[in-house]
Amino acid sequence: VVLSFDTSPLLKATFLLYVFPIIAMIIGAFVGQQLAPNFNFDASFLSAIFGFLFFGLTILFVRSKGNKLAQRDEYRPKIIRVIGQS
C-alpha cells in the first residue's frame, strides 16, 4: 500500500505536539522568575513551579486539540494505490 500525507497539516500537528509545550514551559519559567520577588519565594522554586504548571496546562490543551484535529480528514493518510497481493 502506498500512502500519502499532506505536509502542511503534519507540520502544524508536529509543532502543536512537540514545540508548543516546550515554549509554554519556558514562558512559565520566565513568569515564575518575574513573580517570585512579589510573593517572597525563591526565584528558582517559583520558576520551576510555573514552568511545570504551564507545561501541564499545555499538555491538556494539546490533548484536547489533538482529539479534535484527529477527526479532520486532512490529518489522515490517504491510500494512493495498492501495490500487489502476496
Q: What is the pLDDT of residues 7-20, one digit of tens each?
A: 888 888 889 999 99
The bridge status of strand 2-4 relative to strand 78-81 is antiparallel
Tens of pLDDT, residue by residue over 36-71, are 999 999 999 999 999 999 999 999 999 999 888 888
Does residue 6 sit in helix, strand or coil? Answer: coil
pLDDT band per the 50, 70, 90 thresholds, residue 86:
low
- Does residue 41 form part of some domain? yes
Helix (H) or strand (E) holding 64: helix 43-69
What pTM does this model have?
0.77
- Does residue 6 form part of some domain? yes
Give the pLDDT of residue 75: 80
Query: d(Cα 62, Cα 18) in Å, to the nearest integer?
Result: 10
- Does residue 67 form part of some domain? yes
- Does residue 10 form part of some domain? yes
Query: d(Cα 33, Cα 43) in Å, to the nearest integer?
Result: 5
Could you tell me the residue range of the domain that residue 27 belongs to? 2-81
Give the pLDDT of residue 7: 86
- Does residue 86 form part of some domain? no
Number of folded domains that form the chain: 1
- Does residue 9 form part of some domain? yes
